[in-house]
Amino acid sequence: MERLLQLFSFNEATPLIFTQLDFWIFFLVVMSIFSFIHKHKLTRSIFLFVVSLFFYFKTSGLLVLLLGSSIIINYFIGRGLGITNSEIRKKVYVTLSVLFNLLTLGYFKYAYFFTESFNEMFNTNYEVFNVFARMANTFMGAGSFADNIVLPVGVSFFTFQSISYVVDIYRKEVGPVKNFFDYAFFVSFFPQLVAGPIVRARDFIPQIRQPFQLNHNDFSWAIIQIVKGILKKVILADYIAIHFIDKVVDAPEAFPGFISILAMWGYSLQIYGDFSGYTDIAIGISRLMGFKLLENFNSPYKAVSVADFWRRWHKSLGSWLRDYLYIPLGGNRGGGIGTYISTLVILVFLVFITQWYWLVFIYLGLMLLYLLFSLLFVNFKKYIHRDLNLLITMILGGLWHGASENFVIWGAMNGIALILYNHWKKISPYETSKTWAVRIWRIFLTFNFITFTRIWFRLEKDGAPAEMLSQIWNNFELNQQSISILLDGFDTALLIMLIGYVLHWLPGKTKLFGEKVFTRLPIYIQSVVVAIILIFVYQAFSDTFKPFVYFQF
C-alpha cells in the first residue's frame, strides 16, 4: 500500500522520467489498457488525456492545474475563431491566445529575472511572490501553497504548441478541433509534453481519428529509437557529465585550460545526447501507440555551416520560430514596422538586463550608417531587414531557453553568425565544393563555433563565461603533467566521448543498414538483444541518472 501510495502521489525527487523503472511500469500499464480501447477513438483520446494529466502531475504536482487551464482556454478560443466570420473578431481571438500564453510563460519563467534586473537598474528591493498561491491560500488555508513561483516543467513547449494551434486556425491551415478531448489529448500527449518536440496541429490532429496501426517494421523501428535514446541519455549524456564535464566546468580554475576545452567538447556531446535522446524515446513511444512525431535532430554535428546546423538541431523549435516569428516580421523578403519596433524593444531589454548603456550609442551609430547606405545602395534596405529579422529571432530564441543574460548573449552570437554566413556564402569559393578536405574543415569550424557559444549556454552565473575564457587563455598548460591529470582522472569519459563522436559522424547509410538488419530479426531475438543492452547500461551506469536538461526550459 505504501508503494502504491507513492506511485499515485507527487514527489519532486521522483518524477516519471524515461530513464527510471517507474516510467516503464507506468507505460506498460498504459499500453495494456490501450490495447483494449484503441478501436474506440473518443475513448482512446479521453484515456490518453487522463494518462497525460497523471504523467504531468507526477512531474509538476498541482501545476497540472495550469496545464488544464491552458487547454480549456485555448480550446474555446480556437472554437470561437472557427465560428466567427468577422475579421476583427478573429484578430481579437488570436491576440487573446497569444497574450494569454505569453503572459503565462512570462509570469512563471521570467518573473524573478525581470524583478532582479529592475532592482539592479533602479536600486529597488522588490520581491517576487506567487499571487495565485496567495489567492488559493485564502480559500484553502495558509500554507496550502508555497508563495514562491515554481517553473512548470515543459511550460515553454505547451504554450508554443497552443499558440501555433490558434494561429494556424486563423491562417486556415487547420480547422478548429470540435471535440474537446481530442484537442486536450493533442496538447497534453505525454511522450512529448515536457521536453518536445513541439508538435504542430496540422501534423498531429489528423492522426487522432485514424485507426491504430503497428506493423512489424514500425514496432522494430520504435524499439530502435527507444534503445538509442536510452543509450544517448544514460551513457553519452549522464556518464560524461557526472564523471568529467561537471567537475571541470563547475571549477575551471582547478584544471589546465586545455582540459576545459575538452570539457566543452564533451558538453556539446552531452546536450545532444540528452535532448536528442529524450526525443528519440518520445518518438519511439509515440510510434508504439500508433502516432508519428516528426524528426527533431538530424546529425547536427555534421553541419557544414551555422545555417546548416540550425536546420539540423531542434528542428521543431526552429520551424516554429521561422513560421511564427521570422516570417511574420518579414523574413527574407523585407521588413516593416514590426521589425523596427522589435529591434527597439530588444535594445531596451538588453540595456535593462545588462546595464550596458554603450549599446545605445552603438544602436544610434548603426542607424546612421543604415540611413547612409540605404541612400547609396538600392538593395541595402532589403538585406538589413532580413538581417534584423534573423537577429531578433535568434535573440528571442535564446531567451526562450532561459531567463538569463547568458542565454540572450548566446542567441545573439548565433544570430550574428547566421547573418555573417548569409553574406559570406555569396563570395565564398568553398560554398559549393564537394572536396572531402573542405567538408571536414567546414564541419570542424562549425562544430567549434557552436561549442564556443555553448559556454554561455552551460554557465548560469552572469560573467562566468568570461572568467572561464580568461582561465583557458592564461592557464592552457598542455604538458605531460596536465595530460597525466586528464588520463588518470577522466580516461573512461574521454573514451566514451570518442566513441560517441565516431558514432555520430558515421555515414547515414551505415546507420540505416544497422536499423534494417535489426528490423529483419525475429521478435524473440530482438527482445534478447534489447534486454542485454539495457542490462549492461543500467548495471554499468546505475549511479549516473540526471534530469533531462530541457526539463528546465
Whether residue 411 is contained in a domain is answered as yes
Residue 499: what pLDDT?
92
Nearest alpha carbon to residue 42 among 198, 178, 175, 168: 178
95 within some domain: yes
Q: Which domain holds residue 280?
A: 215-301+462-544
pLDDT of residue 476: 77
> Are 116 and 99 a contacting pair, CB within 8 Å?
no
- pLDDT computed for residue 85 by the predictor: 86
> Same structural domain for residues 117 and 191?
yes
In 3D space, the residue among 191, 276, 241, 245 whose CA is nearest the CA of residue 550 turns out to be: 276
Same-domain pairing of 127 and 85: yes
Q: Say what the pLDDT of residue 373 is.
A: 74
Do 198 and 76 have their domain in common?
yes
User: What per-residue confidence (pLDDT) applies to 551?
Assistant: 64
Looking at the fold, whether 259 and 366 belong to one and the same domain comes out as: no
Domain boundary among 211, 226, 244: 211
In this structure, is residue 552 part of a structural domain?
A: no
Question: Which of 191, 211, 231 marks a domain boundary?
Answer: 211
Segment 38-47, tens digit of pLDDT: 888 899 999 9
Residues 87 and 197 in one domain: yes
pLDDT by residue for the chain (553 residues), tens only, comes to: 565 566 666 666 667 788 787 888 889 999 999 999 988 889 999 999 999 999 988 888 878 888 999 999 999 999 998 888 888 899 899 999 999 998 888 888 888 777 877 787 778 887 777 776 666 666 666 665 666 777 788 888 889 899 999 999 998 888 888 899 999 999 999 998 877 788 888 889 889 888 888 888 888 899 999 999 988 988 888 888 888 898 888 888 888 888 889 999 999 999 999 899 999 999 999 999 999 998 889 999 999 999 999 999 999 988 888 888 888 877 777 666 767 777 777 777 777 766 777 777 877 787 787 777 777 776 777 777 788 888 888 988 888 887 788 888 899 899 999 998 988 888 888 888 888 999 999 999 999 999 999 999 888 888 888 888 888 888 877 777 777 777 777 888 889 999 999 999 988 888 888 888 888 888 888 888 888 888 877 766 655 557 677 666 6
For 307-349, the pLDDT digits (tens) are 999 999 999 988 888 888 888 877 777 666 767 777 777 777 7
Q: Are 232 and 272 members of one domain?
A: yes
What per-residue confidence (pLDDT) applies to 312? Answer: 93
> Which pLDDT score, from 0 to 100, does residue 542 have?
52
Quote the number of domains for the chain: 3
Contacts (Cβ under 8 Å, ≥6 apart) of 196: 157, 278, 279, 282, 296, 314, 316, 317, 550
Same domain, 377 and 323: yes
pLDDT of residue 5: 60
Is 436 contained in some domain?
no
* Per-residue model confidence as pLDDT tens digits over 45-62: 999 999 999 998 888 887
CB 27 within 8 A of CB 33: no
Structural domain includes residue 429: no
Report whether 110 contacts 219 (CB < 8 A): no
Residues 142 and 79 in one domain: yes
Q: What is the pLDDT of residue 45?
A: 92
pLDDT in tens, 94-103: 999 999 998 8
Domain boundary among 211, 241, 265: 211
Cα separation, 426 vs 15, whole angstroms: 50
The answer to whether residue 439 sits within a structural domain is no
pLDDT value, residue 313: 93
Q: What is the predicted pLDDT for the residue at 153?
A: 81
CB 486 within 8 A of CB 345: no
Query: Same domain, yes or no, for 105 and 195?
Result: yes
Query: Is residue 549 domain-resident?
Result: no
Residues 413 and 368 in one domain: yes
Same domain, 202 and 137: yes
Give the pLDDT confidence score for residue 173 in this predicted structure. Answer: 87
**401/522 same-domain check:** no
On whether residue 510 sits in a domain, the answer given is yes
Cell of 64: 497540472
CB 149 within 8 A of CB 108: yes
Query: Which cell numbers hold the place of 4?
Result: 502504491
